[in-house]
Structure 1
Amino acid sequence: MNWREHITLDNRVLLGKPTIKGTRISIEHILDLLASGWSEKDLLENYPRLTPNSIRAVFAYIQEMMKDGFLFSEAAESGK
């Protein structure tokens, strides 16, 4: 899965947060909803511009950020 086909980072949209292309739906918002118990079906019903592939791209994006250490660099620097 190439997350770049579904996710964009644009400083003019949501202050540069990663979002689903063509939307203002942030990766952070999708993860918050999933962590709150929403299912893929809930996401697709409530956000018709999302697709199953765009949701999978969220996980591919997070996996790559973790692999590259981007999600841990701030915590490591602060000694947490």
Structure 2
Amino acid sequence: MQKQWIVSNPKVMMGKPVIAGTRITVELILEKLAAGETIEQVLEAHPHLTREAILSALAFARDALRADVVYPLA
């Protein structure tokens, strides 16, 4: 059985999607990568994370953007 890496609980980080067992949000991982940090740097800063957890956060974001929602960019 594959581990469910991304979870959401209204009592943890206001319900934002986080890496299971942590308070590290998908949003934080995306911000760090968008700012130019490498996966290796994120892993160094958060040694309890794994590469698979970070890749799962990216996949979660990809899937969220596939939803039929319009994002105005004005």
Same-fold call, TM cutoff 0.5: yes
Query: Which structure has more helix as a fraction of its residues?
Result: 1
Q: Deviations over 1:24-71 (max 9, x none)?
A: 0001111111111110000111101110100110111011111123xx
Q: Is the 8 A contact 2:17 2:26 kept in 1?
A: yes
Counterpart check, 1:6 vs 2:14: no
Partner of 2:64: 65
* Structure 1, 15-24 or 4-13: larger mean CA deviation: 4-13
TM-score under structure 1 length normalisation: 0.80
SS at match of 2:14: helix
Runs of 4+ in 1 over 6 A off after TM superposition: none
How many equivalent pairs are there? 73
Q: Deviations over 1:5-42 (max 9, x none)?
A: 10101100010000000000001111111111110000
Unaligned runs of 5+ residues in structure 1 are none
Q: Distance in 2 between matches of 1:14 and 1:26?
A: 8
TM-score under structure 2 length normalisation: 0.86
What is the RMSD of the two structures over their aligned residues, measured on CA atoms? Answer: 2.0
Identity among equivalent positions (%) equals 32
